[in-house]
Structure 1
């Protein structure tokens, strides 16, 4: 729960900065101010939330206890401290702080330690299983992508701080797209895909996707990353340019999304729960955002105009697909974990509410609708080059996100549970920021 609380705080902060005109599109896509926003979203929000979800659900995926539960708190502290140091380094580059560029490699080292604890905990937990299902395999590939992402990021941080050599300079000059693909496409997207297989099956009472189908999806996704990262590094070393590598990575990426879409449609089609809960309804908007992003990327690449609109494409991936899916699933996850914490100890010994009685879906649905509408409008405004109006859309995103976070707080406080079921004998109100 602490991971989710920290993550949503970073999301709200990033949206508030965008509404204030900080970073892209008011500044260049590669500017230090934009790097602050990018890493607040990618590390502070998405990666922290994903780590929290993995620590909770990897044991469910492999039917084994977490290898080391006591690593969770130091990992969160390291991730938070590392991100703050990294952001301060970017602010120093942008002239907002004294030129303390040593903060960049310091932040990278702390992030390596934090992500290293998470990766080790997850991998060692998965390795203890007798057999691995599709979701667990996706998670392992996601962990490998995380390692690549962190390694490239640490390289860039060292170079920006003035500790790099000629070889590192060439990687920094051309390798940023590889860093983004490994992070957004590998670590975050493939891991989200893997976790979503299990969550959708659980929450919709649907049978798991056929093992052969999911393996093909994973294989093509892993091939996409290999083509992009390995092929990209080889191309940089050979000074041959990234054009052909990124083209093939885009083709395989589209194939991965198509195969994943087939799997998700099968889960929806075979579900036994005909009336979908809000988290699944809103996840569908995240899947729609992924589809639109795929079509947008293909059109931009085909017309030779991807570079000018790369920011809009990445924005839709980060806020429409990934953020939309994570927020939607958190609505259910927070309620489920809160129910387990509050009412699990008295199960069968006292009357208790259902999980769905901890939330008010009709009220939350308005906030989710406002969020997705604001994201889509903001993407359209980026494509149209309307920076001023984009700030209005970003403000709407921040307001909607604040509303969603308020729903999470109400869930943790059991505010919407009717008396006398709210606190029967033996039940205590959960702590807001962590589970007892």
Structure 2
């Protein structure tokens, strides 16, 4: 990693992602969207897609553009397409959010925003997947990269389904108006998006980042193979459940396929937990840094999400409390892991960009000197505690308590983002070490012009 090329636009992806993350939480604090509005209301869809596309998907794309070449030890192919992918995704997301606002009656533009979103977003994801897939093509795939491969297939499926939803809602394709997408396609859209694209990719990246940052053994293990196979088959069953029902002419096939998918997903998570315990227990770096400590909160949220899913299924209340489950997955597991790893990735890449060229020639600070871990521990604790309270508030149908809890996540998120800005600006580095001769301070979120 020390000698690998830095992705020019990764920080831009991260900056845009954090903007949408904070913006979505602001809307939630003021009561915009669920639970103040219905789960299917346009206002809720605005917040949901700010989180899933604006925050989590842009974060994942930025991370993969940087770390996929590290996973397979070969340079990124088609790097010139990384910026067009970002522009398409941002333009498509703005159109999508604007389209939802038009549906809600908040604005009126006279422009077919949802139709444009149905084109721009799939194009943006296709470009990103093409760059990443082209980099993978022909390479010998190490174990973590196999998760990413499944994630890329999942994002394409998710984008296609999302485009069909947008086009149906826009009324531009009358043939789609008669189809019941909500019943058949929406569960697939959610499961393949959150479970395949975001979660499976996150698991794959964690198989590389955790051992790298904690100096743990990263050889492929039998349990890791079970994680991949069980998870991949579970995703395939979720995607094919509805087509199988149509093929066999009975809805029971759909139910059976999804039950089996849940069981296999549980098996995958159990063995993933065993692998995580192995990484932490066999690390060579005895002092665990804050990013690895904070990641434990995300892993706990993932375990709680699985337990909640099983409980809701057993009690027959999944449909009633699905929003609480999705909130815990999105904010506890995915966002928690994203924030915890950004806390390491941003200083790490900043150090490489600024001090890598003079490493071994001039005295340089450590990567951990770019952040102030003692003062930031409390913010991660506040974040995960607030997420837990927020999920409980949704289960208890207490919207006021949920808004208070979201205020806690927003406060913690702003503090963590501020720390990332300070790290990027080298403000925590002692002045004498901040700018040794030959080191060039990085720009905040744009690449250098040379």
Query: Taking structure 2 as the reference length, what is the TM-score of the superposition?
Result: 0.94
Q: How much does 1:101 deviate?
A: 7.2
Identify the residue that residue 51 of structure 2 maps to in structure 1. Answer: 41
Q: 2:407 aligns with which of 384, 395, 403?
A: 395
Q: 1:427 aligns with which of 411, 432, 439?
A: 439
Identify the residue that residue 147 of structure 1 maps to in structure 2. Answer: 156
Identify the residue that residue 266 of structure 2 maps to in structure 1. Answer: 254
Q: Which moved more, 1:382-391 or 1:166-175?
A: 166-175
Q: How much does 1:99 deviate?
A: 7.1
Q: How much does 1:214 deviate?
A: 1.9
User: Conserved in 2, the CA contact under 8 Å of 1:178 and 1:228?
Assistant: yes
User: Conserved in 2, the CA contact under 8 Å of 1:32 and 1:90?
Assistant: yes
Q: Which moved more, 1:319-328 or 1:419-428?
A: 419-428
Q: Cα deviation per residue 1:236-291 (whole Å; 9 max; x = unaligned)?
A: 67462743333222212211111211111111122111111000000011000000
User: Conserved in 1, the CA contact under 8 Å of 2:168 and 2:177?
Assistant: no
2: CA distance, partners of 1:49 / 1:376: 23
Runs of 4+ in 1 over 3 A off after TM superposition: 236-239, 241-245
Q: 2:115 aligns with which of 105, 125, 139?
A: 105
1: CA distance, partners of 2:13 / 2:42: 26
2: CA distance, partners of 1:100 / 1:202: 51
Identify the residue that residue 100 of structure 2 maps to in structure 1. Answer: 90
**Residue-pair matches, total:** 435
Identify the residue that residue 330 of structure 2 maps to in structure 1. Answer: 318
Q: 1:350 aligns with which of 355, 362, 367?
A: 362
User: Conserved in 2, the CA contact under 8 Å of 1:374 and 1:397?
Assistant: yes
Residue 99 and residue 229 in structure 1: after superposition, are their counterparts in 2 closer, same or farther (change >3 A)? Answer: farther
Could you say what secondary structure the match of 1:394 adopts? helix
1: CA distance, partners of 2:393 / 2:51: 20
1: CA distance, partners of 2:178 / 2:339: 37
Residue 101 and residue 181 in structure 1: after superposition, are their counterparts in 2 closer, same or farther (change >3 A)? Answer: farther
Q: Cα deviation per residue 1:78-117 (whole Å; 9 max; x = unaligned)?
A: 1000000011111111111227572112112111111111
CA RMSD of aligned residues (A): 1.5
Identify the residue that residue 302 of structure 2 maps to in structure 1. Answer: 290
User: Conserved in 2, the CA contact under 8 Å of 1:32 and 1:91?
Assistant: yes
Identify the residue that residue 300 of structure 1 maps to in structure 2. Answer: 312
Query: Taking structure 1 as the reference length, what is the TM-score of the superposition?
Result: 0.97
2: CA distance, partners of 1:47 / 1:166: 26
Residue 90 and residue 101 in structure 1: after superposition, are their counterparts in 2 closer, same or farther (change >3 A)? Answer: farther
Identify the residue that residue 345 of structure 2 maps to in structure 1. Answer: 333
1: CA distance, partners of 2:444 / 2:246: 48
Residue 155 and residue 101 in structure 1: after superposition, are their counterparts in 2 closer, same or farther (change >3 A)? Answer: farther
The answer on 1:165 being equivalent to 2:164 is: no
Q: Cα deviation per residue 1:135-185 (whole Å; 9 max; x = unaligned)?
A: 110000000111110111111111111124268622334321110001000
2: CA distance, partners of 1:66 / 1:26: 44
The answer on 1:408 being equivalent to 2:420 is: yes
User: Conserved in 2, the CA contact under 8 Å of 1:7 and 1:45?
Assistant: yes
Q: 2:382 aligns with which of 370, 393, 397?
A: 370
Identify the residue that residue 5 of structure 1 maps to in structure 2. Answer: 15
